[in-house]
Amino acid sequence: MESINPATGQRNAEYAEHSPEQVRHLVESAHQSFLNWREVSFAERKTRMQKAAQVLRDNKEEYARLMTLEMGKIIKESRAEVEKCAWVCDYYAENAENFLKDELVETDASRSFVSFSPIGVVLAVMPWNFPFWQVFRFAAPALMAGNTALLKHASNVPGCAQAIEDVFMKAGFPRRTFTTLMIGSGAVETVIRHPSVKAVTLTGSEIAGKKVAAVAGDEIKKTVMELGGSDPFIVLEDADIPGCVLTSSLARMLNTGQSCIAAKRFIVVESRVKEFEEQQTAIMSALKMGDPLLEETQTGPMARPDLVDELDAQVQQSIAMGARLLTGGVRPKGNGSFYPPTVLSDVKPGMPVFDQETFGPVSAIIPVKDMEEAIAAANSSEFGLGGSIWTRDVKKGEAAARRIESGAVFVNGMTKSDPRLPFGGVKKSGYGRELSHYGIKEFVNIKSIWIA
């Protein structure tokens, strides 16, 4: 398995793929580890998880550089990702026992309650765009609940996959409590069907989600799916345009636009479209694109050449259908998987940048008449992961947020994930939740106990 630097196209390293026999042994070892780990006290689990957070912080520069070399995010964002992983470890270390304590329920019994117990080995199929965060937001609650974890990471970030396993080993977790499987996508079905695997969580594309969910469903195994997004960024007539434009650029360009919850469709009332276009275009066109390891770089390469091809095709087809190009839209020559910050306006339903998820640095501005039309445009998407609404009238913003069909809506703020809030979507963005107390309860046996 090869690790390729997307900024240069050069190979970072090669990693040996696990054979089917090795995979079977690792899965069975994870199950044996579970039989012991589920008996370990919350206090002991807490100590290990806090140590994992410390290992992350102590090695932040090493892990940040690895992420940047493997998938291209700028080094400042890589450091922030390591810090966020440490945060989620600390969060579940502190809160897991309380989240999973017995819940007393008044019934006709002398005593009745709900208990929460681990279910066993959980397989995580994870993407490359946040190669540490996506894994830790699953692993921290799963391990604190008493489960053991198998990771099938994206094939272009094998170094990150191995480094994450090393974090848990350095933190003193028992061997095979967390295990990285060096396998391609073709080997996933066999792992899901192994009797020791009890559940699957996937973050990735709609296509990958369908395949994994179908296999898990055939085996009657629990799944959580966090799939794509085409998040609306709604700008109402009373919005603070300078403030929301600054946030809109960050919301679109974080991770070079390669984020499920990136703002992608900028739905702006007609009376404010011109100033929004001018200000967002000025910011986007001034971003410095280049080597993601340099501190001054503001946007780096996309993760793979094929992703650039797909994004450029979406842009060019939308322009051919009537979208107006304000900046960008021309692939640079030279090495590396770069695509310039791009702004399109006059975007309408039927265009790829409206209907599809654009996983890269492309902003689609959609003029609408009023709030009602804005909400209708937001909800017309097949996706429903996140969204944001900008208005000086907070009550109006809250009322509109309740009508948006998505797993999260931020009023006058950028959509982001937070360990304290549940994360997930509706419609083709998936189902189930990660993070908060909802996330840790996805992979436990919620058992009613009634005593006469």
CB atoms within 10 A of CB 81: 23
Query: Do 403 and 443 fall within a single domain?
Result: no
Is position 265 within any domain? Answer: yes
Q: Write out residues in the chain with pLDDT < 70, as ranges.
A: none
Query: Do 218 and 266 fall within a single domain?
Result: no
Give residue 202's pLDDT. 98
Query: Do 96 and 153 fall within a single domain?
Result: yes
Q: Which residues pair with 450 in a beta bridge?
A: 112
Q: How far apart are CA 290 and CA 292, in angstroms?
A: 6
Give residue 229's pLDDT. 97
Query: Do 309 and 436 fall within a single domain?
Result: no
Is position 102 within any domain? Answer: yes
Give residue 222's pLDDT. 98
Give Cβ neighbours of residue 376 (< 8 Å, ≥ 6 apart).
Answer: none
Query: Do 221 and 310 fall within a single domain?
Result: no
CATH number reported for the structural domain that contains residue 52 in this entry: 3.40.605.10
Is position 261 within any domain? Answer: yes
Instruction: Sheet containing 342-345: give its strands across.
Output: 324-327, 342-345, 362-368, 263-269, 231-235, 388-390, 410-411
For residue range 130-171, what is the model confidence (pLDDT) as tens digits? Answer: 999 999 999 999 999 999 999 999 999 999 999 999 999 999
Q: What are phi and psi of 362, to 5 degrees?
A: -125, 125
Give residue 422's pLDDT. 98
Query: Do 222 and 262 fall within a single domain?
Result: no
Query: Do 90 and 174 fall within a single domain?
Result: yes
Q: How far apart are CA 278 and CA 276, in angstroms?
A: 6
Query: Do 259 and 196 fall within a single domain?
Result: no
Is position 115 within any domain? Answer: yes
Give residue 282's pLDDT. 98
Is position 189 within any domain? Answer: yes
Query: Do 38 and 172 fall within a single domain?
Result: yes
Query: Do 213 and 314 fall within a single domain?
Result: no
Give residue 243's pLDDT. 94
Give residue 298's pLDDT. 98
- Best CA proximity match to 138, nearest among 147, 290, 129: 147
CATH number reported for the structural domain that contains residue 241 in this entry: 3.40.309.10
Is position 83 within any domain? Answer: yes
Give residue 126's pLDDT. 98
Give residue 44's pLDDT. 98
Give residue 95's pLDDT. 98
What residues are annotated to the active site?
A: 226, 260
Is position 274 within any domain? Answer: yes
Give residue 62's pLDDT. 98
Full domain range(s) for residue 146: 2-227+429-451
Is position 423 within any domain? Answer: no
Number of domains in the chain: 2
Query: Do 357 and 216 fall within a single domain?
Result: no
Give residue 398's pLDDT. 98
- pTM, two decimal places: 0.97
Chain centroid offset of residue 137 CA:
9
Query: Do 326 and 433 fall within a single domain?
Result: no
For residue range 394-408, what is the model confidence (pLDDT) as tens digits? Answer: 999 999 999 999 999
Q: How far apart are CA 369 and CA 101, in angstroms?
A: 50
